[in-house]
Amino acid sequence: MEVLETPASATAMPPADASDEQFAEAARLAAAKKQAPPVNAAGSELFGSFLLGRDEFSLPASCIREVVNYPEKMSTLPLSPPFLEGMFTLRGTVIPVINLARLFKPDADASNPSQVIAIIDFEQVLVGILFDTTGEILRVRPEQRSTLYYEGENVHGVIAGTILLAGGSRLLQILDASALIHIENVPQVLALRAANQKQSDLHFKTQNARRQCVSFHVGASSFAFEMEAIQEIIRVPELQPSILNSKLCLGRINFRGTQVGVVDFSTLLNAPRAEQQATPDQRIVLARIGDASVGFLVDSVDSIISFFSSELLPIPLLSKARAGMFGGCISQPGVGEIIFLNHHEIFSRTEIVEMRRGHSNLYPEEEKLAGQSQGAAQGQREAKKIQRRVYISFQLENTFAVEIRQIREIIDFSDNFIRPPGMPACMLGILNLRQQMISIIDLRGLYQMPPLADTAQAKILIVERGDERYGLLVDAVEDIMTIADNNRFPTPKLARNASSTDLRSEMEEVVDIIAEDGTRRTLSVFECEAFLQRLAREMPENGQLQ
């Protein structure tokens, strides 16, 4: 048997750091050879070869989209099988990455940045396979191939057959893409992709399509809940023990007269935390799911993110475990991939009923006493139809509160600004945020405060006024809290001084809150419109705010 190893039969695959044009050219040459095979190569097929350790594997060239270097950031996808290394975004598409070594040997080493990723196309969904290096593009005749058969009609191994070259001294294992990749939600991925495509031309213009979510960290992964799902975010109080028969339930808290179960999010993701002791950054995110309130213990609450529906990228899933909870992926420059959660699908209906009714049935006296202690005040609030509003507290020398509806989003501080000449002293520069120009205002400079020494915790609050967008640099963002309107009061006139440079002197209202330790705090309420009026006075006559 003659093996075709001449240049006409083996085309070198471009290196992993090659440009898209080089990959495209290699694919064009391979396709040209396939369309015009030599006479003695009738029925031959093109394969791409890859090395993993001492083994050589191959995949049909028709399913290989491209080969890329290992990404700078690989995000962990929870509840995934052990061989799924993680995911990353490539030109607006979420790519799950399979560690082939762990597929064969579960305790094999994790991936490393020196490896390459072969992107294969499976039912119009892209998936990455980890290899050590690329090899060649080979033209293989039928007699050089053998097919493996497995016992049982429904048994399919990931090795579809072998290729023998060099007189039998070179063996390549053929990978079966369809057996290797079990994408559970292909229809949902394609449907979401099609819907997003229709909106792509409008998502910068259609203001009502914008959505907001709150992002948080659990372990190495970043997640987000839609704003409408969140009732409140609180520091971790002392959790009451619960005898509720659920592995998910960490304990319970009394939330305004109702016993609410607290779920450790890391346990929900099947990734128990190594350290059970609470840390200062941990928070409980209280979410409304169906007709039940559920608390989620998370490692930290990070930011508020504004996005359009068309920016939500579908995630190809390799597991059915709570698959409905993964609503998509939001890719943020400098942050990475944020897994957007569909809060309606996190729990089964049985789990929700168990947590909602279970605590009420197990601890009726505590709930009754709590309800009695709050009954009179609650009746007054209902009689007056007093509303509750969600606020963000932030630091700028002192602590302030601002209604969350006045903030479009919150981003980490970055000095990657454009600095046009002739800017007012209070302007740091202009930031390009997802193709929208944001004027960054230094609040410390505006109110004659000393510069912030450490910007590690600094954040930028994005606000809008008509078509203009401004970023307000603050020292840090603390909490998200819900406060009733009857705890909001006018600022005493003696405390207001129009000539003062103290930011608090310009605030017309304050809110009264009770901290976790029972102490009361009074925070000045930051009003964006009043601030913009102050900013307009500081701008030159041809400034944008005039």
What confidence tens digit (pLDDT) does each residue in 328-360 have? 999 877 677 899 998 888 877 677 666 665 555
- What is the reported pLDDT for 363? 53
Chain length of the chain: 546
Ordered DSSP codes for 427-448: EEEEEEETTEEEEEEEHHHHTT
Q: How confident is the model at residue 47 (pLDDT cuts 50, 70, 90)?
A: very high
All structural domains of the chain with their residue ranges: 10-70+112-183, 187-384, 388-538
The pairing of strands 159-165 and 55-60 is unpaired
Question: What's the pLDDT tens digit per position in 121-164?
Answer: 877 788 899 999 999 989 999 999 998 877 665 555 788 899 99
Are 162 and 47 within 8 A, CB to CB? no
Provide the token pair at 535: 């900013």
- What is the reported pLDDT for 67? 93
Residue located via tokens 């901290």 = 515
Lowest mean pLDDT among 51-65, 308-322, 402-416: 308-322
Any residues with CB less than 8 A from the CB of 459 and at least 6 apart, and which? 303, 394, 410, 411, 412, 413, 473, 474, 476, 477
Closest CA to 297 of 274, 328, 273: 273
Q: Is the dihedral of CA 471, 473, 474, 476 positive or negative?
A: positive
Are 401 and 393 within 8 A, CB to CB? yes
Any residues with CB less than 8 A from the CB of 508 and at least 6 apart, and which? 490, 491, 496, 525, 527, 530
- What is the reported pLDDT for 224? 93
Same fold for the pair 187-384 and 388-538: yes
Residue type, 433: L
Calpha distance 246→358 (Å, rounded): 10
Ordered DSSP codes for 505-518: GG--EEEEEE-TTS
Average pLDDT, the chain: 77
Q: Options 2.40.440.10, 3.90.950.10, 2.40.50.180, 1.10.3130.10; which CATH number does 187-384 get?
A: 2.40.50.180
The distance of Cα 97 from the centroid of its chain, to the nearest Å, equals: 17
Residue 470 has pLDDT above 60, yes or no: yes
The DSSP H or E segment spanning 265 is helix 265-268
Q: How confident is the model at residue 216 (pLDDT cuts 50, 70, 90)?
A: very high
DSSP category for residue 150? -
At residue 261's C-alpha, the angle toward residues 260 and 264, to 5°, is 140
Calpha distance 53→56 (Å, rounded): 8
Architecture of domain 388-538: Beta Barrel (2.40)
Any residues with CB less than 8 A from the CB of 63 and at least 6 apart, and which? 120, 121, 122, 177
Are 55 and 173 within 8 A, CB to CB? yes
Calpha distance 319→76 (Å, rounded): 14
Provide the token pair at 494: 């003696």
